[in-house]
Chain A
């Protein structure tokens, strides 16, 4: 991965305690799984930053390599990878997600 992409990803992760790489924007998600994670975070009143990977091919591929995770969305808390859609939903249902963030 190019160093500039890695740096950009790291800067994005530092920009917010909770950060979501997604397809589309929180207002207009472009994929059902991205929409699902946004919906979970909103329901729990968790503020988050986000990046639309459809706007940047370098980040779209780079984030998969960065975390060794082949799909998007990807949720991070304090720079730590939490999971994709299914894990996020599962952790929200068990209360683990809320614990990680509080």
Chain B
């Protein structure tokens, strides 16, 4: 699964969010998604991360090896 595909999955699952995918090791595997989504406001970090994970439910089982998350409401 490519980085643009992961980005699109998150964007489609959380309409109105902004997603930046970082690939610090340039390996396309150990990546980090920085997700900004107004509806995170008032939610716990666990709930915020669950919302992002939900958009990648199937992919997280096999295809995505290492996805770090950072979530922001604005």
Q: Which residue of A lies closest to B32 (CB)?
A: A86
The B contact surface, by secondary structure, is helix
Q: Contact check, B66 vs A84: say whether CB atoms are below 8 A apart.
A: no
**CA gap between A86 and B53 in the complex, in Å:** 13
Report which of B45, B61, B66, B68 forms a contact with A70, defined as CB distance below 8 A. B61
Q: Which residue of A lies closest to B57 (CB)?
A: A70
Residues of B within 8 A of A86 (CB): 49, 68-70
Q: Which of B30-55 contact A (CB under 8 A)?
A: 30, 45-46, 49-50, 53
- The reply to whether the CB of A83 lies closer than 8 angstroms to some CB of chain B is yes
- The reply to whether the CB of A93 lies closer than 8 angstroms to some CB of chain B is no
Q: Which residue of B lies closest to A36 (CB)?
A: B68
Mask of A67-86 contacts with B, CB within 8 angstroms, 1/0: 01111000000000101111
**CA gap between A33 and B31 in the complex, in Å:** 12
Q: Contact check, A90 vs B45: say whether CB atoms are below 8 A apart.
A: yes
Residues of A within 8 A of B46 (CB): 69, 81, 83, 87
**CA gap between A31 and B67 in the complex, in Å:** 12
In the assembled complex, 18 residue pairs joining A and B whose CB atoms fall closer than 8 Å, in A order, are A31-B66, A32-B30, A33-B66, A33-B68, A69-B46, A69-B53, A70-B53, A70-B57, A70-B60, A70-B61, A71-B53, A71-B67, A81-B46, A83-B49, A86-B68, A86-B70, A87-B49, A90-B45
Residues of A within 8 A of B (CB): 31-33, 68-71, 81, 83-87, 90-91
Residues of B within 8 A of A (CB): 30, 45-46, 49-50, 53, 57, 60-61, 66-70
| 3 A-B pairs with least C-beta separation | A70-B60, A87-B45, A70-B53
